[in-house]
A and B are shown apart, each in its own frame.
Chain A
Amino acid sequence: MSKSTKKIEGITKEFTQGVIDKALEAYPEKGRKKRAPHLAPNTPDSSATCVKSNRKTVPGVMSARGCAYAGAKGVVWGPIRDMVHVSHGPVGCGWYSWGTRRNLMTGINGVTQFGMQFTSDFQEKDIVYGGDKKLKTLLAEAHELFPLAKGISVLSECPVGLIGDDINSVAKQAAKDLDLPIIPCNCEGFRGVSQSLGHHISNDTIRDYIIGTREFAEPSSPYDISLIGDYNIGGDVWSAKALLEEIGLNVKSVWTGDGELEKIAATHSVKLNLIHCYRSMNYMCKVMEEKYGIPWLEFNFFGPTKIRESLRQIAERFDDTIKENVERVIAKYDPIMQAIVDEYKPRLDGKKVMLLVGGLRPRHTIGAYEDLGMVCVGSGYEFAHGDDYERTQPEMPEATVVYDDPSEFEFEQFVHAMKPDLIGSGIKEKYVFQKMGIPFRQMHSWDYSGPYHGYQGFSIFARDIDMAVNSPTWKLVKSPF
Chain B
Amino acid sequence: MSAEAAVKYVTETPIEEVERVSAWINSEEYKEKNFARQALVINPPHACQPLGAQLAAHGFEGTLPFVHGSQGCASYYRSTLNRHFREPAPAVSDSMTEDGAVFGGQSNLHEGLENALALYKPKMIAVFTSCMPEVIGDDLTAFIRNAKKKGVVPEDFPTPYANTPSFNGSHIHGYDAMLNSILQYLTEGKQVEGRCTGKLNLIPGCDFNTGNYREYKHILKEFGIPYTILADITESFDSPLDGTYKIYPGGTKLDDAADSINGKATITLGPYATAKSYTWIKDNYSGKHVSLPIPMGIAKTDEFIVKLSELFNKPVPASLKEERGRAVDAMTDSHQYIHGKKFALYGDPDYLLGYVSFLLEMGGIPLHILCSKGSKKFEKEMQGLLNGSLYGAGCKIYMNKDLWHMRSLLMTEPVDAMIGDTHGKFAARDAKIPLFRFGFPIFDRVNKHRYPLVGYQGAMNMITEIANKFIDIKDDTCEDRFFEMMR
Question: In this assembly, does A124 line the interface, its C-beta being within 8 Å of a C-beta of chain B?
Answer: yes
Given contacts A96-B79, A145-B25, A216-B10, 9 further A-B contacts (CB under 8 A): A60-B111, A92-B73, A126-B167, A141-B39, A145-B30, A148-B17, A214-B10, A428-B75, A478-B242
Say yes or no: B40 contacts A118, CB within 8 Å. yes
0/1 interface trace, chain A 79-119, chain B, CB 8 Å (1 if under): 00000001001111101111110000000111110001111
Question: In this assembly, does B407 line the interface, its C-beta being within 8 Å of a C-beta of chain A?
Answer: yes
Question: In this assembly, does B194 line the interface, its C-beta being within 8 Å of a C-beta of chain A?
Answer: no
Say yes or no: A92 contacts B243, CB within 8 Å. no
Say yes or no: B93 contacts A162, CB within 8 Å. no
Contact of B73 among A27, A64, A67 (CB under 8 A): A67
Size class of the contact patch on chain B: 35 or more
Interface hit among B112-120, B328-336, B383-391, B475-483: B112-120
What CA separation (Å) do A215 and B10 show in the bound complex? 6
What CA separation (Å) do A159 and B101 show in the bound complex? 10
What CA separation (Å) do A215 and B119 show in the bound complex? 55
Q: Can you pick out 11 interface pairs between chain A and chain B where the beta carbons lie within 8 Å of each other? A: A27-B118, A61-B116, A63-B93, A95-B47, A109-B426, A122-B167, A135-B39, A162-B132, A409-B120, A427-B82, A436-B244
Taking A31-B115, A61-B92, A127-B135 as contacts, is the C-beta distance between A191 and B120 under 8 angstroms?
Answer: no
Question: In this assembly, does A62 line the interface, its C-beta being within 8 Å of a C-beta of chain B?
Answer: yes
Interface hit among B64-72, B203-211, B309-317: B64-72
Question: In this assembly, does B43 line the interface, its C-beta being within 8 Å of a C-beta of chain A?
Answer: yes
Interchain nearest-CB distance for B428 vs A (Å): 12
Contact of A190 among B38, B66, B100, B239 (CB under 8 A): B100
Contact of B92 among A60, A108, A159 (CB under 8 A): A60
Say yes or no: A60 contacts B82, CB within 8 Å. no
Task: Collect the chain A residues with CB atoms within 8 Å of residue B108's CB.
Answer: 59
Interface hit among B83-91, B214-222, B361-369, B465-473: B83-91
Say yes or no: B78 contacts A428, CB within 8 Å. yes
0/1 interface trace, chain A 216-239, chain B, CB 8 Å (1 if under): 110000000000000000000000
Say yes or no: B100 contacts A427, CB within 8 Å. no
Contact of A137 among B21, B39, B120 (CB under 8 A): B39
* CB proximity to A under 8 Å, residues B44-87: 44, 46-48, 50-51, 66, 69-73, 75-80, 82-83, 86-87
What CA separation (Å) do A263 and B9 show in the bound complex? 9
Question: In this assembly, does B33 line the interface, its C-beta being within 8 Å of a C-beta of chain A?
Answer: yes
User: Which residues on B are within 8 Å of A, measured CB to CB?
Assistant: 7-11, 13, 17-18, 21-22, 25, 30, 33-34, 37-44, 46-48, 50-51, 66, 69-73, 75-80, 82-83, 86-98, 100-101, 108-109, 111-116, 118-120, 130-132, 135-136, 165-168, 170, 239, 241-246, 404, 407, 423, 426, 430, 443
Select from chain B the residue with minimum beta-carbon distance to A115: B426
Say yes or no: A162 contacts B41, CB within 8 Å. no
Say yes or no: B75 contacts A26, CB within 8 Å. no
Interchain nearest-CB distance for B348 vs A (Å): 14
Interchain nearest-CB distance for A88 vs B (Å): 11
Contact of A134 among B39, B73, B100, B132 (CB under 8 A): B39
Say yes or no: B42 contacts A117, CB within 8 Å. yes
Say yes or no: A190 contacts B70, CB within 8 Å. yes
What CA separation (Å) do A212 and B236 show in the bound complex? 52
Interchain nearest-CB distance for B258 vs A (Å): 25
What CA separation (Å) do A65 and B78 show in the bound complex? 11
Interchain nearest-CB distance for A199 vs B (Å): 13
0/1 interface trace, chain A 425-443, chain B, CB 8 Å (1 if under): 0111011111111000000
What CA separation (Å) do A121 and B98 show in the bound complex? 23
Interchain nearest-CB distance for B455 vs A (Å): 27
Contact of A58 among B47, B80, B111, B443 (CB under 8 A): B111
Select from chain A the residue with minimum beta-carbon distance to B114: A28
Task: Collect the chain B residues with CB atoms within 8 Å of residue A437's CB.
Answer: 241, 243
Question: In this assembly, does A408 line the interface, its C-beta being within 8 Å of a C-beta of chain B?
Answer: yes
Select from chain A the residue with minimum beta-carbon distance to B78: A428
A62, A111, A217 interface centre (most CB from chain B within 10 Å) = A62
Contact of A138 among B9, B40, B46, B79 (CB under 8 A): B40
What are the 10 A-B residue pairs with the smallest beta carbon separation, nearest first? A67-B72, A60-B112, A92-B48, A59-B112, A96-B76, A60-B115, A138-B40, A138-B39, A90-B166, A137-B39
Contact of B241 among A68, A118, A190, A435 (CB under 8 A): A435
Question: In this assembly, does A69 line the interface, its C-beta being within 8 Å of a C-beta of chain B?
Answer: yes
Question: In this assembly, does A163 line the interface, its C-beta being within 8 Å of a C-beta of chain B?
Answer: yes
Interchain nearest-CB distance for A136 vs B (Å): 8
Task: Collect the chain B residues with CB atoms within 8 Å of residue A96's CB.
Answer: 47, 76-77, 79-80
Say yes or no: B44 contacts A432, CB within 8 Å. no
Select from chain A the residue with minimum beta-carbon distance to B49: A92
Say yes or no: A142 contacts B40, CB within 8 Å. yes
Question: In this assembly, does A30 line the interface, its C-beta being within 8 Å of a C-beta of chain B?
Answer: yes
What CA separation (Å) do A2 and B50 show in the bound complex? 50
Task: Collect the chain B residues with CB atoms within 8 Å of residue A190's CB.
Answer: 70, 96-98, 100-101, 132
User: Which residues on A are within 8 Å of B, measured CB to CB?
Assistant: 26-28, 30-31, 56-70, 86, 89-93, 95-100, 108-112, 116-124, 126-127, 134-135, 137-138, 141-142, 144-145, 147-148, 157-159, 161-163, 189-193, 195, 213-217, 260, 262-263, 265-266, 407-409, 412, 426-428, 430-437, 477-479
What CA separation (Å) do A430 and B83 show in the bound complex? 10
Taking A91-B166, A193-B97 as contacts, is the C-beta distance between A262 and B72 under 8 angstroms?
Answer: no
Taking A121-B41, A192-B97 as contacts, is the C-beta distance between A158 and B10 under 8 angstroms?
Answer: no
What CA separation (Å) do A426 and B79 show in the bound complex? 9
Taking A119-B44, A409-B119 as contacts, is the C-beta distance between A479 and B242 under 8 angstroms?
Answer: yes
Taking A65-B75, A66-B71 as contacts, is the C-beta distance between A431 and B17 under 8 angstroms?
Answer: no
Say yes or no: B97 contacts A145, CB within 8 Å. no
Say yes or no: B115 contacts A61, CB within 8 Å. yes
Interchain nearest-CB distance for B157 vs A (Å): 14
Task: Collect the chain A residues with CB atoms within 8 Å of residue B40's CB.
Answer: 86, 118, 120, 137-138, 141-142, 145
Contact of A89 among B51, B69, B131 (CB under 8 A): B131
Contact of A63 among B25, B48, B71, B88 (CB under 8 A): B71
Contact of A163 among B78, B135, B430 (CB under 8 A): B135
Task: Collect the chain B residues with CB atoms within 8 Å of residue A138's CB.
Answer: 38-40
Say yes or no: B241 contacts A477, CB within 8 Å. yes
Say yes or no: B115 contacts A27, CB within 8 Å. yes
What CA separation (Å) do A116 and B72 show in the bound complex? 20
Taking A59-B115, A62-B92, A91-B41 as contacts, is the C-beta distance between A158 and B130 under 8 angstroms?
Answer: yes
Say yes or no: B244 contacts A60, CB within 8 Å. no
Task: Collect the chain B residues with CB atoms within 8 Å of residue A108's CB.
Answer: 18, 22
What CA separation (Å) do A213 and B43 show in the bound complex? 31
What CA separation (Å) do A144 and B130 show in the bound complex? 33
Say yes or no: B114 contacts A148, CB within 8 Å. no
Select from chain A the residue with minimum beta-carbon distance to B89: A428
B30, B33, B42, B47 interface centre (most CB from chain A within 10 Å) = B42
Select from chain A the residue with minimum beta-carbon distance to B45: A95
Say yes or no: B404 contacts A116, CB within 8 Å. yes
Task: Collect the chain A residues with CB atoms within 8 Å of residue B132's CB.
Answer: 158-159, 162, 189-190
What CA separation (Å) do A344 and B79 show in the bound complex? 31
Interchain nearest-CB distance for A152 vs B (Å): 10
Say yes or no: A111 contacts B22, CB within 8 Å. yes
Interchain nearest-CB distance for A444 vs B (Å): 10
Interchain nearest-CB distance for A258 vs B (Å): 15
A86, A428, A430 interface centre (most CB from chain B within 10 Å) = A428
Say yes or no: A70 contacts B21, CB within 8 Å. no
Select from chain A the residue with minimum beta-carbon distance to B68: A59
What CA separation (Å) do A448 and B478 show in the bound complex? 32
Task: Collect the chain A residues with CB atoms within 8 Å of residue B404's CB.
Answer: 110, 116
Contact of B82 among A70, A215, A431 (CB under 8 A): A431
What CA separation (Å) do A159 and B165 show in the bound complex? 11
What CA separation (Å) do A377 and B36 show in the bound complex? 57
Select from chain A the residue with minimum beta-carbon distance to B50: A92
Taking A60-B112, A66-B72, A434-B241 as contacts, is the C-beta distance between A162 and B101 under 8 angstroms?
Answer: yes
